[in-house]
Amino acid sequence: MTVSNPLLCTPPRFVEIVREFFGGQIDLDPCPNLASTVCAARECYRPECNGLVTPWTGRVYVNPPWGYDYLTEAKTLVPWLAKCAGEANHGAEIIAMIPTAPGSECWRDHVLPFVKAVCFVDTEGATPIFMAQPDGTAGEEVAVSFLYYGMKIERFAHGTNPLHSPFAGFASIGSVWRPA
């Protein structure tokens, strides 16, 4: 289901940080919301284009559906996280925004073993982000994290990369963690 609810979209200030990190261009948004401000070069709107089946290349930003799919009786986030890990292994550079839950089974099995860095967004004073309800409306407010699958780990964390334009890094919006 493709929804059109701005409350379920990535807040514009976060979209700008992602775009800035990627050098001004997001190549693919595999699961856009009709109200999204991401404006990637390529977007996969369902049912015409299934972002879980379409190959991902270049600079990819994904804000996947969160929660539970009552039709398939499965967690909606897991297939997207598996796709992130798989496509990163094939050369795509990916940033994903998901609910913060590092102690959960989902994070333990599908995030922590594969991600290169995580930004835990500081929620104080931040634009609220909401969990989607089955009907596409906004439900409870959630804390989010940005996952990074790629090779520019220092740039993601701190913006320190002399080959690119100045960038504050994701540390400007939260705490960054990198696996040892």
The residue extents of the domains of the chain are: 6-177
Asked if the model's pLDDT at residue 143 lies above 90, the reply is no
What residues does 129 pair with on adjacent strands? 142
Asked if the model's pLDDT at residue 142 lies above 80, the reply is no
Chain centroid, CA 99 distance in Å: 10
Tokens of 149: 């699958």
pLDDT in tens, 17-33: 899 889 899 999 998 87
Segment holding 108, helix H or strand E: helix 105-110
Asked if the model's pLDDT at residue 7 lies above 70, the reply is no
Distance CA 84, CA 143 (A): 20
pLDDT in tens, 43-95: 887 667 888 999 999 999 999 887 666 666 667 889 999 999 999 999 999 99
Residues 6+ apart with CB under 8 A from 82: 110
Lowest mean pLDDT among 115-119, 148-152, 176-180: 176-180
Residue 74 pLDDT: 64
Per CATH, the number for 6-177 is 3.40.50
DSSP label at 138?
E
